[in-house]
Amino acid sequence: MDSHTLIFRAHSSSRYSLAALVGVIETDHRLTEIAIEAPIEVSMNTIQKSVAKGPTILAHSVMSTQTDRIYKEVREVRERFENSVTIIGGGPHASARPMELLENGFDYVVIGEGEQTFPELLWHLMNDKDPIEINGVVGETTQDCPIPRDLAPVDIDAHPPFALGMNIVGPIEVTRGCPYSCKFCCTPFLTGGRVRNRSIDSVVHWLTQAVEKSGFDRTWFLSPNALSYGGRGRTVEEDRVEGLLKAVTKVEGLKEVFFGSFPSEVRPEFVTRPILEMMKEYVANKTLQIGLQSSSNRVLKLANRHHSVEEGLEAISAALDCDFIPHVDMIFGLPGETEKELHESIDLCYSLAEMGAKTHGHVFMPLPGSAYENEEPGRLDTESRKLLGELSRKKLLTGSWSTQESMAENLSSRKL
Ligand code: SF4
Tell me the per-residue pLDDT of 85-99, one tens digit each, with 9 for 90 and over: 999 999 999 999 999
This prediction's pTM? 0.94
Q: Which stretches within 224-336 are classed as H helix?
A: 238-249, 273-280, 297-302, 309-321
Alpha-carbon distance 267 to 271, whole Å? 7
- Ligand 1 pocket test target in 174, 175, 182 with most atoms within 8 Å of CB: 182
| Residue 52 forms part of a structural domain | yes
Instruction: Check residues 412 and 251 and name the one with the higher pLDDT.
Output: 251
Which atom of ligand 1 is least distant from the CA of 184?
1
Helix, strand and coil percent figures for the chain, each rounded to 5: 45, 15, 40
Show which of 150, 174, 194 is a domain's final residue. Answer: 150
Q: Is 223 in the pocket of ligand 1 (CB under 6 A)?
A: no
The neighbouring-strand residues paired with 290 are 266, 328
| DSSP state for residue 6 in the 8-state scheme | E
Q: Whose CA is nearest to atom 3 of ligand 1?
A: 180
| Residue 162 forms part of a structural domain | no
| Residue 53 forms part of a structural domain | yes
Within 8 A by CB and 6+ apart from 384, the residues are 332, 342, 343, 346
| Residue 84 forms part of a structural domain | yes
Show which of 104, 135, 150 is a domain's final residue. Answer: 150
Q: Whose CA is nearest to atom 2 of ligand 1?
A: 224
Alpha-carbon distance 62 to 64, whole Å? 6
| Residue 163 forms part of a structural domain | no
The neighbouring-strand residues paired with 138 are 109
| Residue 101 forms part of a structural domain | yes
- In terms of domains, do 254 and 120 share one? no
CA torsion through residues 325, 331, 337, 340, sign: positive
The neighbouring-strand residues paired with 60 are 9, 89
Q: How confident is the model at residue 198 (pLDDT cuts 50, 70, 90)?
A: very high
- Give me ligand 1 centre to Cα 224, in Å: 6
Number of Cβ within 10 Å of residue 188's Cβ equals 21
Which atom of ligand 1 is least distant from the CA of 179?
8
| Residue 343 forms part of a structural domain | yes
CA torsion through residues 92, 98, 100, 106, sign: positive
Angle at 240 between CA 357 and CA 284, to 5 degrees: 40
- In terms of domains, do 203 and 143 share one? no
Alpha-carbon distance 362 to 399, whole Å? 6
Q: Which domain holds residue 12?
A: 5-150
- Give me ligand 1 centre to Cα 303, in Å: 11
- 172's enclosing H/E stretch is strand 172-173
Q: Is 185 in the pocket of ligand 1 (CB under 6 A)?
A: yes
Q: What is the mean pLDDT of residues 362-384?
A: 96
- Give me ligand 1 centre to Cα 186, in Å: 8
pLDDT value at residue 415: 66
- In terms of domains, do 101 and 198 share one? no
Alpha-carbon distance 379 to 46, whole Å? 40
Q: How confident is the model at residue 1 (pLDDT cuts 50, 70, 90)?
A: low
- In terms of domains, do 43 and 95 share one? yes
- In terms of domains, do 198 and 302 share one? yes
Angle at 161 between CA 360 and CA 118, to 5 degrees: 105
Q: How confident is the model at residue 2 (pLDDT cuts 50, 70, 90)?
A: low
How would you classify residue 230: left for phi > 0, otherwise alpha for psi between -120 and 50, otherwise beta? left
- In terms of domains, do 129 and 198 share one? no
- In terms of domains, do 76 and 125 share one? yes
Q: Kindly tell me if the per-residue pLDDT of 416 is higher than 80.
A: no
> In 3D, which of 17, 29, 41 has the Cα closest to residue 122?
29
Residues 348 and 295 sit within 8 Å (Cβ to Cβ): yes
Structural domain total, the chain: 2
pLDDT tens, residue by residue, 135-191: 999 999 999 999 999 899 999 999 999 999 999 999 999 999 999 999 999 999 999
pLDDT tens, residue by residue, 105-129: 999 999 999 999 999 999 999 999 9
Alpha-carbon distance 5 to 35, whole Å? 5
Which atom of ligand 1 is least distant from the CA of 265?
2
Q: Is 188 in the pocket of ligand 1 (CB under 6 A)?
A: yes
- Give me ligand 1 centre to Cα 239, in Å: 22
Q: Is 177 in the pocket of ligand 1 (CB under 6 A)?
A: no
Q: Is 180 in the pocket of ligand 1 (CB under 6 A)?
A: yes
Residues 264 and 306 sit within 8 Å (Cβ to Cβ): no
Q: Is 367 in the pocket of ligand 1 (CB under 6 A)?
A: no
Edge to edge, the sheet with strand 397-398 lists: 287-293, 325-332, 358-363, 397-398
What percent of the chain shows pLDDT beyond 70? Answer: 99
- Give me ligand 1 centre to Cα 312, in Å: 15
- In terms of domains, do 269 and 135 share one? no
Q: How confident is the model at residue 14 (pLDDT cuts 50, 70, 90)?
A: confident
pLDDT value at residue 414: 77
- In terms of domains, do 312 and 190 share one? yes
Q: What is the mean pLDDT of residues 8-19?
A: 81
Give the CATH number for residue 91.
3.40.50.280
- Ligand 1 pocket test target in 176, 185, 190, 329 with most atoms within 8 Å of CB: 185
pLDDT tens, residue by residue, 38-58: 887 888 999 999 999 999 999
pLDDT tens, residue by residue, 293-323: 999 999 999 999 999 999 999 999 999 999 9
Q: What is the mean pLDDT of residues 207-218?
A: 95
- Give me ligand 1 centre to Cα 225, in Å: 8
> In 3D, which of 194, 199, 197 has the Cα closest to residue 179?
194
| Residue 167 forms part of a structural domain | no
φ, ψ of residue 89 in degrees (nearest 5): -120, 150
Which atom of ligand 1 is least distant from the CA of 293?
1
Q: Kindly tell me if the per-residue pLDDT of 325 is higher than 60.
A: yes
Give the CATH number for residue 401.
3.80.30.20
| DSSP state for residue 168 in the 8-state scheme | B
Number of Cβ within 10 Å of residue 14's Cβ equals 20
Residue count of the chain: 416
- In terms of domains, do 132 and 200 share one? no
DSSP letter string, 101-114: HHHTT-SEEE-S-H
Q: Is 236 in the pocket of ligand 1 (CB under 6 A)?
A: no
> In 3D, which of 284, 290, 310 has the Cα closest to residue 360?
290
- In terms of domains, do 210 and 308 share one? yes
Q: Is 267 in the pocket of ligand 1 (CB under 6 A)?
A: yes
- In terms of domains, do 324 and 193 share one? yes
